[in-house]
Amino acid sequence: MSRFSAPIAEQIWDMKYRLKAQDGTPIDASVEDSWRRIARALAEVEAEPAVWEERFYNALEGFKYLPAGRITAGAGTGRNVTMFNCFVMGTVPDSMGGIFDALKEAALTMQQGGGIGYDFSTIRPRGAEVKGVAADASGPLSFMDVWDAMCRTIMSAGSRRGAMMATMRCDHPDVEAFIEAKKDAARLRMFNLSVLITDPFMDAVKADASWDLVFQGRVYRTLQARDLWNKIMRNTYDFAEPGVIFIDRINKANNLGYCETIAATNPCGEQPLPPYGACLLGSINMPTLVAGAFTKGAKLDLVAMDDLVRLAVRMMDNVVDASRFPLPEQQAEAKAKRRIGLGVTGLADALLMVGLRYGSVEAAAQTEAWMKAIARASYLASVDLAKEKGAFPLFEAEGYLASGNMMQMDDDVREAIRTHGIRNALLTSIAPTGTISLYAGNVSSGIEPVFAYAYTRKVLQKDGSRTEEEVVDYAVRLWRELKGDAALPDYFVNAQTLPPLDHVRMQAAAQKWIDSSISKTINCPEDISFEAFKEVYMAAWDQGCKGCTTYRPNAVTGSVLTVSESSDKVPAEAPAMVAGGEVVYLTDPLDRPAALEGQTYKVKWPGSEHALYITINDIIIAGHRRPFEVFINSKNMEHFAWTVALTRMISAVFRRGGDISFVVEELKAVFDPRGGAWMEGRYIPSILAAIGGVIERHLVSIGFIEGEGMGLKTDPQAEVMVVGERPKGKACPSCGSYALQMKEGCMTCNDCGHSKCG
């Protein structure tokens, strides 16, 4: 009997986490094999690996403990990938050579699948003098454009693209340009942006005082702090960025404040990290610990949770030793501090199962109590590990215990740390869990409210037929199993109906006992007033949050498709996110027919002795022609390796279905540092860009896209119906469906699980 409670869960496992051979043949025959692979790999560093393998397997079994995707996909595979989710790169030097050395480090990290964060406050502002070259500085944003271009050309481990976070201090002279950078719809698409907000700045905002913009001691400009705050708020209101990070609060609370200073976070914001800092993530699946769900005696089993947390901490500590790292500096930093980020997922479902309304005062109090129990178990488990294996190398008792986070910890925990040390410098974090939550049966993600109770997912099969499957929230499905057709209680709420300040209340309640930070999106209604929107951020500051990220649908950012649902029942036919266009996700790659029609194109790159020949073959599905495969050939053996790689990669993308026009965009954006060439009256930045142009012209010729630089010929958006409302926003770049939703700062597809940063 399958362990998966829904088809989408098994599909996510098969696509993202199942170990397969290079030719696609499964090695993990079942999810139990995946759990066994992970357990064995993380037990290898133990003195008694067989004993710990069984204990680790028991923690994984039934989706109780969910290691982050990179661990689940990478542990025990022997592949050269990092199991760490996120990195903050080294401090960017204010010199041309240093900047491009940092760019190289970023590329190497993203190549292995790591998301990265950077503080660009260290680069001198636009117009500042550059001594010795009789020129003015171009400013940090110009170099961010270079990072953005680099990110667009790199595919990270598996099928995930790299994600980046850029931060800038609120007193940097270029902060206003940074705040408004996303007004340009084509700029910095690979970045999430956040402003580092200091305590003095917030004091100045509240007092309506002046504020200096400074670099290396020189005041470049003075303005009113409240004006700068309003500019941040207005751009976030209109364009969904930048977020804000309360950086002084983070550093004061940091257990390691005595030996590090934090100035950036990972892409989703839940991991504030020092230069070269790395952190791995994992989540306790809280609904699996609830006993007596939807009864008067329903409760979360705290004893079982304590045992599970202790096993999870040990497993994650072992990852520090088992993982590879893109850079030696990252490995040294990780082993010196051994920080981990254990969090939760399914919080909203667990609250529903014990009869509490997400966002209520009672639910916030229960969340705080659960988070404290997890924190205690985590710290005491790490103390036990320190007794057995030693404290982290940079441990210094008095400095550690003097941090703002540790000052609130229970006395028995503090005394245990003082006496025995602690194995892991930081232990808790709440990450985005969009994909692993689907894999675990569509539990609510992280500490977010339930997004939608149910929706219908339409899937195009290999033979051109379509199937529909209902995707139901974990708690709702359990209610149906226990209560049949009984109406949902009034305490069932979702992200669309929840007031923004209730979101803040829940984030603040969880943050009290989380030593790192929390990835959380506060959904705001489109018609929220600007003043009420600003109040959300001020409430986050006043209630002790370490940052704030909101999402407000509007004409610029696009809206998110939602289901038609009321608080009292789930529709029998949940009419949500039903894509009528032909560009939809395929359950499996298409099989190749015996014969295909296509075209061959010749490309003669100036200065090259031999031409490239590009053959693109098409397939007919449901009466529409679409590309199926590509072959790139040349007599020049110097091109052999990369042309074969490109042939295999592009063909694999084509066979997955969906809107594959992004392949053109990515190829055309590649520039050759040695210089491009003029071809047919156009400047082409690289030979790869020339190949992209050929593919684009082919897509136009078969009617797949409307024209060069244009979108799909048949627009699925025109055929998507959500209770008669025309949707806004973009299609999923992976499967083409209009099922994108904002989760913890990442646009995530409900149909296929695609997420830029998770």
Please list the active-site residues: 266, 268, 270
φ/ψ of 672, rounded to 5, equals -95, 120
Q: What's the Rg (C-alpha) of the chain? A: 26
CA atoms within 13 A on the CB side of 120: 30
How far is 690 from 197, CA to CA, in rounded Å? 44
User: How far apart, in Å, are the Cα atoms of 213 and each of 180, 198, 201, 263?
Assistant: 16, 13, 11, 17
Residue 145 class from Cβ within 10 Å (0-12 exposed, 13-18 middle, 19+ buried)? middle
Which residue reads 């006992």 in tokens?
A: 513
Residue 517 class from Cβ within 10 Å (0-12 exposed, 13-18 middle, 19+ buried)? buried
Which residue reads 């703002």 in tokens?
A: 404
* Best CA proximity match to 504, nearest among 464, 542, 455, 454: 542
For 76-109, give the secondary structure using H, E and C.
CCCCCCCCCCEEECCCCCCCHHHHHHHHHHHHHH
Cβ(256)–Cβ(243) below 8 Å? no
Sign of CA dihedral 139, 141, 144, 148: negative
* Best CA proximity match to 32, nearest among 5, 13, 51: 13
Cβ(696)–Cβ(664) below 8 Å? yes
Cβ(446)–Cβ(758) below 8 Å? no
* Best CA proximity match to 519, nearest among 740, 733, 243: 243
Tokens of 244: 């804000």
How far is 730 from 658, CA to CA, in rounded Å? 13
In sequence order, the β-bridge partners of residue 284 are: 65, 344
Cβ(39)–Cβ(67) below 8 Å? no
How far is 42 from 316, CA to CA, in rounded Å? 8
DSSP readout, 636-661? Answer: -GGGHHHHHHHHHHHHHHHHTBS-TT
Contacts of 724 (CB under 8 A, 6+ apart): none
Contacts of 162 (CB under 8 A, 6+ apart): 110, 113, 114, 115, 116, 151, 154, 156, 190
Cβ(13)–Cβ(31) below 8 Å? yes
How far is 533 from 527, CA to CA, in rounded Å? 10
Kindly give the pairing relationship between strand 547-548 and strand 243-246: antiparallel
How far is 306 from 468, CA to CA, in rounded Å? 40
How far is 517 from 245, CA to CA, in rounded Å? 10
- Under DSSP, the state recorded for 751 is T
At 42 the three-state DSSP class reads helix
How far is 173 from 209, CA to CA, in rounded Å? 17
Residue 197 class from Cβ within 10 Å (0-12 exposed, 13-18 middle, 19+ buried)? buried
Kindly give the pairing relationship between strand 115-119 and strand 164-169: parallel
φ/ψ of 477, rounded to 5, equals -65, -40
